Structure formats: structure tokens, C-alpha cells
Amino acid sequence: MPYIKAMKEYYLKQKAFSPRSRYRVLDEEENQLYHGKARFFSPSRKFDFYNSSTDEHLYQIKRKLFSLRRAYRLYNGKEALVAKAKSIHAFFKKRIGIESDYGDFIIEGNYWAHDFKILEGDTEVASIRKKRLSFGDSYQITINDDDNHEFYLALLIMIDSNFHQKRKNSN
């Protein structure tokens, strides 16, 4: 009998009207599993991601300051480089290349940056859908990989920072 990977769903909600970005990651029963918050007045837009039950610091997201294109880095709790994101030019879709300790990924999204999929080679390991009408950014995340859920959730926050923060700051 072939092995079937388990699919897991999460929901990410961003707090609206906050002076700094704050996120909550919920399970299907709306229990908070993870939370994240941006550092106040951080030029590199540092963002910390935590396990809510243990308050363990899992990842830190930092924007690379001196780069021609917007680039982000994702560090684990040991401050080792885990991932770096760079925008890839593509017509009529958004793309980000990820180089990480977990492998190389492509994050592909539609033109409006609302629906994304994370690909490892040709395999879709996660999909992300932004809710169209919600108070603050709200996402539904489906992860098809048995491992590294926290890593994919941190990538989602990186995606939101990369594609949606510029628009928020200009308003």
C-alpha cells in the first residue's frame, strides 16, 4: 500500500490597525498555536515567530537593507541562516526563490498576490489562500509535507512582508 502524506490546515490572521505587524496562527478548531510580532522601529523589519504554548522563539525574519531588490532572510533560533528570498521576474505572476537548509523552493503566486503555492522541485508542499474580505490579512494554509510546518508558516509571513507590506506602508 503506498504511503499517503497527511495534509494539515492552518489559519493565519494579522491584527488590523496595530502600529506593528502581529500575527496569530490557528488550527482548524481556532486554537492559537503560534504567534509573531514585528519589532518596533526596526530598519531591517525584524519579525519574531514563536510557539504559543511554550513561548519558544522559532524564527526571526529580517529584511536585507542594502539590496537592489527586496530580499528577506529567515533565521532559526540558533541564528543560523535558514532561508533567503529573492524575487524572480515572471510575467503575470509573483515568484520568489528560496534557498534554505531544508532545500530549495519556489513560491509562486497569482498576479494580485493572494494565492500561492510552495514548490519543492515539481512537488507542491504547501498552498496559501488569502481571504478576500477580512478584517486584517487572513490566510488559509494547507501543508502537504509531514515535516517543517513551522518553517512553512514562517515563509508565509515572509511572503506577506514581501508582497503586501509595501502597499500597506504607502497608504
pLDDT in tens, 99-132: 888 888 888 887 666 788 999 988 999 998 887 7
β-bridge partners, 98: 85, 105
CA distance 34 to 159: 17
CA distance 103 to 116: 18
pLDDT number for residue 169: 45
Q: Please give the model's pTM, rounded to 2 decimal places.
A: 0.78
Helix (H, G, I), strand (E, B) or coil at 163: helix
Q: How confident is the model at residue 170 (pLDDT cuts 50, 70, 90)?
A: very low
CA distance 108 to 90: 10
With CA atoms as reference, report the closest residue to 105 among 51, 47, 144, 62: 144
- The mean predicted confidence, pLDDT, of the chain is 76
